[in-house]
Structure 1
Amino acid sequence: MEDAGSLIAQVNLLCDALRQAREPAAALDAIGAATLRTLGPGLLTINAWHVQTARIERLWSSDTAAYPVGGHKTKGDSPWRRQLLERGEVFVGEGDDALAAVFDDVQVIRKLGCTAVVNVPLGHQGSVVGTFNYLADRAIWSAAEVAALRLLAALAVAPVQALAAART
């Protein structure tokens, strides 16, 4: 995380980019860039959650070679699904065992050098409509990092809803 002056500059840059975004995808580009500038190198994916089909659809990715936009996964019942997608609670995973317990693609995650994840539910009117997932090389996540990710994720709710609606 950055010092207060740099953080203020990043917030202003993001607000200006969001004001100028004419499409939901451009808003996600701005939010994604701000996330990586603020929290450093890592993998960010932003997904829609289709509760009726239990499917997550990737709408934005910072690494489109490893995680292309349009990719999707069906999420069966699991503690992770219940916590993140049903109860709408943030999931913090630190270390290889935590990642392997919840991600079937942990080998790809390892190859990208990521050792920890924060999954933030995107909520609207009491329901989860998507996820904001940041993976990076961390031993632990600080409370400030998790709070910053929650705030950045909240900005992604409207663009995710617009993109998901356009695809159905």
Structure 2
Amino acid sequence: MSHPEQRLMELGLKLPEVVPPVATYVSAVRSGDHVYVSGQVPLQEGQLIAAGRLGDTISVELGYECARQCALNALAALKAEVGDLARVARVVKALVFVASTADFTRHPQVANGASDLLRGLFGDAGRHARSAIGVTALPLNSPVELELLVELRRPSGD
């Protein structure tokens, strides 16, 4: 499989700038061979690509796009922490929060926006455990938020 950033270009996508934290935390933390990426919302050039809740003002299709943007933002934070996305050995876990109405039940279809992108970039190494959880509200009135846990390859010589 080609380099993850090459695959992004083939998909017509590019990594955005790292989204600065909106509170007292860091975007990513490395612990041993794992990187924990803080919750990312669908900001693009400093603006949410959508605001609101699924089942109200946001469609499943737009929610899917939001989840994909969250994944791009998470990958930008990951790259800033480790230097090269080719270091990813495995996407271990994705935790997707979906702001939704009480009767909305299509959280998995929204979360697929992130999961499909990760699988497309990393192949089988992008297949991950996942939770898709409905919540009443998210920061900045975002419809989706994504956290990632990634395992890294050890550089040669370690």
TM-score by length of 2: 0.32
Going by fraction, where is helix more abundant, 1 or 2?
Answer: 1
